[in-house]
Amino acid sequence: MEDLHIIELYWQRDESAIKESQTKYGGYCSTIANNILHSAEDTEECVNDTWLRAWNTMPPEKPSRLAVFLGKITRNLAIDKYRKDRSQKYGGGQVTLCLDELGECIGEDTPIEDRLALKELMDTFLHSLSDKNRKIFLLRYWYMMPVAEIAKRNNISEGAVKMILQRVRDKLKNYLEMEGVGV
């Protein structure tokens, strides 16, 4: 089923919208949640919460790209669940590592008005990267994928992935400083 038709079902408050979303994007959302949570039960709960959140958000939201919209909801729910379930005393995983790595560039306690400006700056920055570097950056910091898996997917060494990520983070930090966004 086409995304526009699924969105229209949400707007009509037709419960089949949830079924269609699950059929088309269930695997996609499960992958995102599982990369963060590493638990089948938590992943299933998070994905089910995604459909509820989408139901409660549309209307008034009318996403232009349903996959991105649902993926973002899933990612945010999974990160929230991760933070709630695991305090720092339990040690880190990919999520903690990723957030720590990015925290060096963008800061962690940013006021909401700065976050809106940061979103626009991040979009511009990401479009300035080569396709390969943008893909690696997004796999790590959006999908929270382990370095080893990124290396395998891109047929490069883990060291090469780490180097690319370090260079992109350095470039991001410099870009944000030039734009007047301090860490």
In the chain (183 residues long), the average pLDDT of successive 10-residue segments reads: 93 94 96 92 94 93 92 92 66 59 61 61 89 93 88 94 93 86 61
Residue type, 41: E
Does 36 lie in the same domain as 101?
A: no
Query: What is the reported pLDDT for 91?
Result: 43
User: For position 53, what pLDDT does the model report?
Assistant: 95
Are 98 and 74 within one domain? no
Cα→Cα distances 46→13, 32, 37, 172, Å = 22, 10, 9, 30
* Single residue among 32, 50, 85 that ends a domain in this structure: 85
Q: What is the pLDDT of residue 105?
A: 64
Residue 109 belongs to what domain range?
Answer: 94-178
Pair (70, 101) in one structural domain: no
pLDDT in the model for residue 5: 95
pTM of the model: 0.60
C-alpha 100/C-alpha 126 separation (Å) is 19
For residues 92 and 14, what is the distance between their CA atoms, to the nearest angstrom?
41
Quick one: pLDDT at residue 108? 54
pLDDT, residue 26, reads 96
The pLDDT value recorded for residue 44 is: 95
For residue 109, the SS3 value is: coil
